[in-house]
Each structure stands twice: as structure tokens, then as C-alpha cells.
Amino acid sequence: MEVYNKRNLMPKPVASQSEIDMLYARPYPVLKHRPQVFEGDAQALFDRVVTHLFEQGQQSIGEVCLYRDEQNHECAVGTLITDADYHYGMERFGVDVLIRDYAATCPSIAAIAKHENLLTNLQRAHDLDNWDGPLLLDLKEHLQSIARMFDLHTDVLNQQYDLFVDRVRTRLLNDE
């Protein structure tokens, strides 16, 4: 089958399957080794994401925020996607599209689909908050408001934030 370029009516080759596969190939290796599909309620999901964000301490970002970046950082939702289910073609799509397009074929996405509203808010916190400050106070406040919105407790949030502050303080003291 030939596809014609409307401009000069010359045949334009259709992309081969290997070229199409390259569009969805991960441009860098998977290092997290996340074989387990998340199982739990909204509180467990919130606690896992909060723990991940404060342990990582920075956004997963390229030109825009990413589910996984070149340094193998993961966003709030990316940390819940197993290595087997993740591929680069998922990037730049919001949670709603991710669930709509991948839940049927990706078990880790199907498992979190019931938490779409919570995930959307957690992704927004990751993508929009000010991560420039060493204490990530904006992120903590945003996560507290999400917890209130979904009637979740913030014990793990407060604990992870305090641990993060201690790590930053120790690093700053060691640099002096």
C-alpha cells in the first residue's frame, strides 16, 4: 500500500513495524524492577505514592513531567506502573487517557483504575508543585489537601516529610 504526500503526490512509504515499535520503545533502561501490581485501597495507594515522592525528593521530568525520566525517577503515577506494563508511548498522557487506553492490557494500570480521581490529583501535585525549595513544603501542603479531599489520614505523609527534612539537614551539615 502506498500513501501519497498531498503536496507533490509522490508515494510516501508507510512506516514499517520496526519503526512503529521504535516509537514506543523505552529510550533508556528500566532500573526500578517493579514486578508487583499494586493491591490496596485509597489509603494504601496514597501512602505508597507519598513515600515514593519524598524518598525520591525530586520530580520525574524531561521537557515535561514524565511517568519515568532518563534518570529513572518516577512520578506519582509512574511508581505504580510495573516494568512489564510501562513503555515510553505512555508519556505525555494524563491519568484518564492512561487508564482508558492501557487498563485492558496492562494489569498494573487496571489495578489502579478505580482510583482515577485520586491518581489525577496526585499526578497534578507532582507536576505542578514547586520542587525548587529544599523542603518541598508546597508539595506537602498540596498532599495534605488531597488527603482531606479523599478523607485519608496523613500519618505517613507527616513521617515521610520529617524524614526528608532530616536527610536534607544532614546533607547540608555534611557539605559544610
pLDDT at 2 over 50: no
Q: What DSSP letter does each residue of 39-81 carry, written as one string?
A: ---HHHHHHHHHHHHHHH-S--BSSSB-SB-TT--B-TTGGGS
- Report, as an integer, the average pLDDT of 22-34: 52
Q: Which residues pair with 68 in a beta bridge?
A: 74
Q: How far apart are CA 99 and CA 63, in angstroms?
A: 23
Q: How far apart are CA 126 and CA 64, in angstroms?
A: 11
Question: pLDDT higher for 149 or 86?
Answer: 149
Q: Which residues pair with 11 in a beta bridge?
A: 4
Q: How far apart are CA 64 and CA 69, in angstroms?
A: 10
Grid cell 496526585 is found at 122
Question: pLDDT higher for 17 or 52?
Answer: 52
Question: pLDDT higher for 152 or 68?
Answer: 152
**In which element (H, E) is residue 147 found?**
helix 137-149
pLDDT at 56 over 50: yes
Q: How far apart are CA 95 and CA 72, in angstroms?
A: 19
Q: What is residue 67's predicted lDDT score, i.e. its pLDDT?
A: 85
pLDDT at 47 over 90: yes
Question: pLDDT higher for 4 or 54?
Answer: 54
Question: If we measure between CA atoms, which residue out of 147, 28, 46, 19 comes closest to residue 91?
Answer: 28
Q: Could you tell me what percent of the chain has a pLDDT over 90?
A: 38
**In which element (H, E) is residue 116 found?**
helix 116-128
pLDDT at 91 over 50: yes
- The domain locations on the chain are 23-175
Q: How far apart are CA 136 and CA 49, in angstroms?
A: 15
Average pLDDT, the chain: 80
Residues in the chain: 176
Cell numbers at 129, concatenated: 508543585
pLDDT tens digits, residue range 99-156?
999 999 999 999 999 999 999 999 988 877 555 554 467 888 889 999 999 999 999 9
Q: What is residue 128's predicted lDDT score, i.e. its pLDDT?
A: 73
- Report, as an integer, the average pLDDT of 72-86: 89
Question: pLDDT higher for 64 or 136?
Answer: 64
